[in-house]
Structure 1
Amino acid sequence: MIMTKEQAILKAKIQFNQMEASVRKAAAEGQTIDQVERDLWERLLSIGRMMLQGYVKLQGSGDVGATLKYEGRSLNRLDNLHERRYVSVFGELKISRTVYGTRETQKHEVIPLDARLGLPDSEFSYLLAEWDQSFCVQGSYEQSRRTVERILGIGQSVLSLEDMNQSMSRNVQAFRDSRPMPVAQDEGSILVLTADGKGVPMRRDPEKDAPAIHVRRKKGQKANKKRQACVGAVYTIEPFVRTAKDVVNEVMRDRRRKDRPPPQNKKMRAELTRIIDDAEVNGKDLIFSWFAKEIKARDGNNGKAVVCVMDGDRALWKMLKHHVSGDVVCILDLFHVMERLWNAAHCFYLEGGEEAKAFVSDRLERIL
Structure 2
Amino acid sequence: MVGPVTITRCALRAPGLPNCYPADQVLGLPRERHSLGLRRLVVLEAARGSYDHAVEAIGRRCGTRAVGKRQAEQLVRTAAVDIAAFDAARTPAPAAGTTLLVLSVDGKGIVMRPGHLREATRRAAERATRTFRTRLSAGEKTCRKRMATLAVVHDADPAPRRPHDIIAPPGGRTGRRTPRKGPKARAKWLTASVRNDADKVIAAAFDQAEARDPQHRRSWVVLVDGAAHQLELIRAEAARRKVEIHIVLDFVHVLEKLWAAARCFHTATDPAAEDWAGAKAARILAGDAPGAVGDIHAEADRTGLSPDQRAAADRACRYLENNAAYLHYDKALEAGWPIASGTVEGAARHLIADRLDITGSRWSVCGAEAVLTLRAVISNGDFPQYWTFHTHRERERLYPAPDQAEYDLTA
TM bucket normalised to smaller: 0.5 to 0.7
Task: Give 3-state SS (helix, strand or coil) of 2:20's partner.
Answer: coil
The amino acid that maps onto 1:124 is H
Q: 1:91 to 1:203 in 2, by over 3 A?
A: farther
Give the match for residue 181 of structure 1: 92
Q: How many residues align?
A: 265
Give the match for residue 294 of structure 1: 208
- Work out which of the residue numbers 181, 190, 199 in structure 1 matches 2:100: 190
Which shows bigger deviation, 235-244 or 289-298? 289-298
**Residue 239 (structure 1) aligned with residue 158 (structure 2):** yes
Q: 1:123 to 1:224 in 2, by over 3 A?
A: farther
Q: Map 1:190-269; keep pairs closer than 5 Å.
A: 190-205=100-115, 215=133, 220-222=139-141, 225-249=144-168, 260-269=182-191
Kept in 2, the 8 Å contact 1:188–1:264? The answer is no
The amino acid that maps onto 2:190 is M
Which shows bigger deviation, 121-130 or 175-184? 121-130
Q: 1:98 to 1:220 in 2, by over 3 A?
A: same
C-alpha distance in structure 2 between counterparts of 1:116 and 1:202, whole Å? 41
Task: Give 3-state SS (helix, strand or coil) of 1:324's partner.
Answer: helix
Deviation track 1:215-263 (CA, whole Å, cap 9, x = no partner) reads: 365785446522221100112211100001002249x99xx97865532
Task: Give 3-state SS (helix, strand or coil) of 2:29's partner.
Answer: coil
Which shows bigger deviation, 191-200 or 287-296? 287-296
Task: Give 3-state SS (helix, strand or coil) of 1:231's partner.
Answer: strand
C-alpha distance in structure 1 between counterparts of 2:156 and 2:138, whole Å? 45
Give the match for residue 405 of structure 2: none
Q: Unpaired segments of 5 or more residues in structure 1?
A: 1-89, 275-280
Q: CA deviation at 1:127?
A: 3.7
Kept in 2, the 8 Å contact 1:190–1:306? The answer is yes
The amino acid that maps onto 2:146 is R
Q: CA deviation at 1:353?
A: 6.0
Q: 1:179 to 1:221 in 2, by over 3 A?
A: same
Deviation track 1:270-293 (CA, whole Å, cap 9, x = no partner) reads: 011x3xxxxxx41x1111112332
Q: 1:154 to 1:346 in 2, by over 3 A?
A: farther
C-alpha distance in structure 1 between counterparts of 2:83 and 2:74, whole Å? 15
C-alpha distance in structure 2 between counterparts of 1:188 and 1:95, whole Å? 59
CA RMSD of aligned residues (A): 3.6
The amino acid that maps onto 2:52 is E
The amino acid that maps onto 1:98 is R
C-alpha distance in structure 1 between counterparts of 2:70 and 2:16, whole Å? 29
Question: Normalising to structure 1: TM-score of the pair?
Answer: 0.61
The structure whose RCO (Cα within 8 Å, separation 6+) is larger is 2
C-alpha distance in structure 1 between counterparts of 2:57 and 2:180, whole Å? 39
Give the match for residue 297 of structure 2: none
Give the match for residue 144 of structure 1: 54
Q: CA deviation at 1:356?
A: 3.6
Q: CA deviation at 1:131?
A: 3.4
Task: Give 3-state SS (helix, strand or coil) of 2:155's partner.
Answer: strand
Q: 1:169 to 1:149 in 2, by over 3 A?
A: same
Deviation track 1:67-112 (CA, whole Å, cap 9, x = no partner) reads: xxxxxxxxxxxxxxxxxxxxxxx35240414131338x99762223
C-alpha distance in structure 2 between counterparts of 1:269 and 1:350, whole Å? 41
**Residue 119 (structure 1) aligned with residue 36 (structure 2):** no
Give the match for residue 324 of structure 1: 238
Kept in 1, the 8 Å contact 2:42–2:76? The answer is no
More helix by share: 2
Q: Which has the larger radius of gyration?
A: 1
Give the match for residue 110 of structure 1: 20
Q: Unpaired segments of 5 or more residues in structure 2?
A: 286-411
- Work out which of the residue numbers 239, 257, 260 in structure 2 matches 1:343: 260
Q: CA deviation at 1:329?
A: 0.9
Q: CA deviation at 1:345?
A: 3.1
Q: 1:166 to 1:247 in 2, by over 3 A?
A: same
Q: 1:220 to 1:108 in 2, by over 3 A?
A: same
Which shows bigger deviation, 92-101 or 319-328? 92-101
Q: 1:344 to 1:132 in 2, by over 3 A?
A: farther
Q: CA deviation at 1:153?
A: 3.9
Q: 1:363 to 1:91 in 2, by over 3 A?
A: farther
Task: Give 3-state SS (helix, strand or coil) of 1:120's partner.
Answer: coil
**Residue 303 (structure 1) aligned with residue 217 (structure 2):** yes
Give the match for residue 80 of structure 2: 169
Kept in 2, the 8 Å contact 1:101–1:107? The answer is no
Q: 1:154 to 1:228 in 2, by over 3 A?
A: farther
Give the match for residue 37 of structure 1: none
Q: CA deviation at 1:269?
A: 0.3
Give the match for residue 66 of structure 1: none
Q: CA deviation at 1:157?
A: 1.8
Q: CA deviation at 1:333?
A: 0.8
Q: CA deviation at 1:146?
A: 3.1
C-alpha distance in structure 1 between counterparts of 2:33 and 2:273, whole Å? 59
